[in-house]
Amino acid sequence: MNRPCTALRHEEAADFAAVRALIHATFGRAEEADLVDALRSADALTISAVAEDADRVVAHIGFSPITIGGQHHALALAPVPVAPDFQRQGIGSVLIRWSLDECRRLGHGVVSVLGEPSYYSRFGFLPAVAFGIECPFPVPSEAYMVLELLPGSATEFRGGVSYRAEFEKF
Ligand SMILES: CC(C)(COP(=O)(O)OP(=O)(O)OC[C@H]1O[C@@H](n2cnc3c(N)ncnc32)[C@H](O)[C@@H]1OP(=O)(O)O)[C@@H](O)C(=O)NCCC(=O)NCCS
């Protein structure tokens, strides 16, 4: 299922326009692209990575800082666009796994995501409510999930999640 020619790497300045175009095309609106641009401008994209196929950026993933319970530092995974003509070929999965490994390698312990439980559970995400972690957005509780990058890294994490101000405009 995975496309063997897809390369995974951190975003570079030369990718910015292609990443914006990819996000805009995938979501069919500007909001997610504006969010990523605003986070990048604020130097708040902790990880910004791409999947590249034949010199074309076909997927992107962004992580930005959050706090949990007002004191615990973690990362939020958002958004993850895969170009429509490249979806369901395993690219989202390999990019997410690669990026989570990068988060772990860089010393991060906890990642949250707002998304489809049937998709994100395959990467080990569990409902945030199981950790006593509260989503700040009005969404079904099962859609807000947390991943411990190291066993037990969310044990002390409790309370509400605070996102960067850039998410308020989203
Ligand atoms: C959701 C998305 C990131 C998945 O990436 P992808 O490369 O298409 O997915 P993969 O090929 O890695 O995985 C395919 C599997 O995910 C499932 N899947 C794909 N999109 C899904 C979705 N929105 N909800 C639930 N499951 C989904 C497929 O059914 C398939 O399941 P299977 O392995 O059991 O057959 C991609 O389809 C996408 O960009 N969608 C539009 C934007 C979006 O919704 N992004 C996520 C929120 S930020």
Q: What does the H/E/C string look like for the chain?
A: CCCCCCEEEECCHHHHHHHHHHHHHHHCCCHHHHHHHHHHHCCCCCEEEEEEECCEEEEEEEEEEEEECCCEEEEEECCCCECHHHCCCCHHHHHHHHHHHHHHHCCCCEEEEECCHHHHHHHCCEEHHHHCEECCCCCCHHHEEEEECCCCCCCCCCEEEECCHHHHHC
Q: Does the pLDDT of residue 2 top 80, yes or no?
A: no
Strands 110-114 and 47-53: unpaired
Q: Quote the pLDDT of residue 5.
A: 63
Q: Which of 119, 121, 125 to mutate to test the pocket of ligand 1 (most atoms within 8 A of CB)?
A: 119
126's tokens: 């569990």
Please give the average per-residue pLDDT across 45-62, as a whole number: 97
Mean confidence (pLDDT) of the chain: 96
The pLDDT assigned to 6 comes to 82
Q: CATH no. for residue 142?
A: 3.40.630.30
Residue 66 belongs to a domain: yes
Q: Which atom of ligand 1 is nearest to the CA of 91?
A: 7
End-to-end Cα spacing for the chain = 33
Cα–Cα distances in angstroms (integers) from residue 161 to residues 67, 71, 74, 150, in the given order: 6, 10, 9, 19
What is the Å distance from ligand 1's center to 71 Cα? 32
Residue 87 within a domain: yes
Query: What range does the domain containing 109 cover?
Result: 7-169
With a 6 Å cutoff on the Cβ, whether 87 touches ligand 1 is yes
- Reported as a single tens digit per residue, the pLDDT across 94-151 is 999 999 999 999 999 999 999 999 999 999 999 999 999 999 999 999 999 999 999 9
Query: What is the pLDDT averaged over residues 36-59?
Result: 97
Atom of ligand 1 nearest to the CA of 82: 39
Q: Is residue 1 part of a domain?
A: no
Site of tokens 């949990």 = 68
Task: Please report the pLDDT score of residue 169 as a whole number.
Answer: 82
Ligand 1: which atom is nearest the Cα of residue 83? 39
2 in a structural domain: no
Note whether residue 117 is domain-resident: yes
Q: Is the CB of 89 under 6 A from ligand 1?
A: yes
Percent of the residues in the chain that have a pLDDT greater than 90, as a whole number: 95
Q: Which of 50, 82, 170 to mutate to test the pocket of ligand 1 (most atoms within 8 A of CB)?
A: 82
Question: Structure pTM?
Answer: 0.95
**Stretch 14-28: mean pLDDT:** 98
Please tell me the predicted confidence (pLDDT) of residue 1. 54
Q: How far is the CA of 6 from the centre of ligand 1 (A)?
A: 17
Ligand 1 in reach of 90 Cβ (< 6 A): yes
Residue 3 banded pLDDT, cuts 50, 70, 90: low
**Count of domains for the chain:** 1
Cα separation, 34 vs 37, whole angstroms: 5
